[in-house]
Amino acid sequence: MHEGYLAQCILNHARAALPVNCLPSKVDSLLVRVGKLDAVSLDALQFMFDAQKNEAGFVGARLEIEHEDVICACRSCGTVSTLDQPIFICPQCASPELTVESGRGITLLEMTLTEESIVNENSHSS
């Protein structure tokens, strides 16, 4: 539902991270990590990214999404567990006192540029 906003944020951050003299059209891919606990539809995010990238200049960019597992640490017994469903109960001691260590948050991790990505001032005229 707010995937359009997220795609816009990803493109804005990517633009800010471009090296000097590098055009957004030279970006081959962007790698984003999305926590499984986040209310994000990956298909919708992909769709919204593709729908917005041309206007933002990232014509050839692909969005790669890493879906991050929900990992919790139990504050009672210290057990660290990976959840495969949203049942937040320690598998070791059945305590509900779990701290979410990962699987929450949306992070732009990496940008991959094409081979001929660094252009000089003269080629900017295009």
Q: Summarize as ranges the residues that interact with other proteins (CB under 8 A).
A: 1-2, 5-6, 9-10, 13-14, 17, 19, 32, 37-40, 86-89, 95-97, 100, 105-113, 117
The whole-angstrom separation of Cα 86 and Cα 97 is 14
84/125 with CB nearer other proteins: 84
71/111 with CB nearer other proteins: 111
Helix 3-17 / helix 42-53 crossing angle, nearest 10 deg: 50
Q: Are 8 and 49 in contact (CB under 8 A)?
A: no
Minimum separation from the CB atom of position 49 to other proteins (A): 11
